[in-house]
Amino acid sequence: MKKLSFLMVALVIILAACGGDNASGTEDGEFEERTWKIGFNTVEGSVRDVAAKKFKEVVEAETDGAITVEIYPNEELGSAQEMIESVQVGALDMQIAGANMMANTVPEYAALSLPFLVKDFDEAHAILDSEIGDKLKEKGQEHGLKVLSDVELGFAQITNNKQPINKPEDLKGLKMRSPNDVSLIETFKTLGSSVSTMPFTEVYLALSQGVVDGQFNPLDAIYETKFHEVQDHLAMLNFTYYYSYFIMNQSTFDGMEPELQKIVQEAANEARDASYEFTASKDEEMLDEMEDSFVEITEPDVAPFQEKVQPVYTKMEDTMGAEIINDIQTFLEEYRSEQ
C-alpha cells in the first residue's frame, strides 16, 4: 500500500508539472485573453501597415483569437519618437519604428542610414541577417526594447519643388525635411541643403505651403502619402536604405509564456517577409503611378554624390562609434567578393 501511495503521489506531481508547462498556465491550453496595440507613423496601405496586418493575422490565428491585435497608423498614438518612448515604459505594446528614429536611443541604429552604404536590397538583407544584425537587435534590450524583426521600407529617393536634381550642386540651398536622424541631417548639410526636422504627418502640409522645398523617402511613403501631388521633381538616387524595427516592450515579452513568445517571434518574422515581398512587387508599380504627376524624373550618376558625402562617415564616428561602421564595411567587402 505504501508503495502504491508513493506511485500515486508521484503521478500527481508529474501531472502537475505537465500542467505547469502549459503555455497559458491554464488547464485547457488556451491563452489568456488580451489586446495589443501596434502604432506607426505612416498611413493605412503603407508597407508598415502591410507588416502590421500580417503580424495581426498570424498572432490571432495561432492563439485562436484569444489575443486581439489593434493597428493604429498615421501617428494616431503619438509621434514616432513618442511611441518609441511609450514602448520603452510599457504604455504601448508594440511599434513599427524607423531605425533612424530609434537611433536617438541606440545610435548604432543609424548605421544603415549612412549614404550609399549598401547598393541593393540583397546587401541590406545580408547585413540584417548577419551577426552584425543580431547584435544591433540585442542593443535594444538595454533600453527596455525587444527588437523582434526588421521591416523593409525601401531605398530613399529625393523630391523637391525647385529644380531637377542631376548633380550634388543642385541640392545646394534647398530647404529639405529630414527625420531626426543625425546621419541623414549631416548628409544633406554636407550637400549644401538647409535641414528642417518635423513629424512625418506634417510633411505634406509643409511641402504644399512651401515651408520646405523637398523631402526624401522610399517610393512607398512618397506614393501612399501623396507627396507627388505637391512636388515637381523626383530624383532616383537610392541614396540610403530605409527600414524599421518591429519592437515590443522587453518586460512584456519576457513575461510571456514560452509558447506565446514563439508565436510572437514567428509572426514578426512573417511580417518582415511580407514587407520584403511588398517592396519588391510595388516599387515599379508606384513609380509608374506617379510618373505623370512629376514635371521631371531624373536618374543621376551616383558617383559624384558618393564622393561628396564621404565626410559624413567620419563625422558619424563621433555619434555611433567607428566600430559599427568598420564592421559593416568589412562585411560588405567580404560579401561582395563572394558574389
Residue 197 belongs to a domain with what CATH number?
3.40.190.170
- How much is the pTM? 0.87
CA angle, residues 95, 99, 101, in degrees to nearest 5: 80
Q: Distance between CA 86 and CA 261 in Å, rounded?
A: 21
226 in Cβ contact with 204 (< 8 Å): yes
- What does the DSSP 8-state code read for residue 318? H
SS3 breakdown of the chain: % helix, strand, coil, rounded to 5? 55, 15, 30
Domain span at residue 239 reads 34-338
pLDDT of amino acid 5: 38
Domains: count for the chain: 1
Tens digits of per-residue pLDDT, 280-304? Answer: 998 889 999 999 999 999 999 999 9
Task: State the angle between helix axes of 182-190 and 310-320 in degrees (0 to 180), rounded to the nearest 10.
Answer: 150
Q: Distance between CA 105 and CA 139 in Å, rounded?
A: 10
CA angle, residues 228, 233, 238, in degrees to nearest 5: 90
Do the domain assignments include residue 15? no
Q: Distance between CA 70 and CA 288 in Å, rounded?
A: 32
Mean pLDDT of the chain: 91
Tens digits of per-residue pLDDT, 107-158? Answer: 999 999 999 999 999 999 999 999 999 999 999 999 999 999 999 999 999 9
Do the domain assignments include residue 143? yes
Do the domain assignments include residue 1? no
Torsion angle, alpha carbons of 110, 113, 119, 124, to 10? 40
Do the domain assignments include residue 23? no
What lies within 8 Å, CB to CB, of 132 at 6+ separation is: 324, 327, 328, 331
Do the domain assignments include residue 106? yes
Tens digits of per-residue pLDDT, 70-104? Answer: 999 999 999 999 999 999 999 999 999 999 999 99
Say whether 53 sits in a helix, a strand or coil: helix
pLDDT of amino acid 99: 95
Please name the residue that has the C-alpha cell 548577419: 130
Cell (9 digits) for 61: 490565428
Q: How many CB atoms lie within 10 A of CB 131?
A: 10
Do the domain assignments include residue 163? yes
Do the domain assignments include residue 53? yes
Do the domain assignments include residue 325? yes
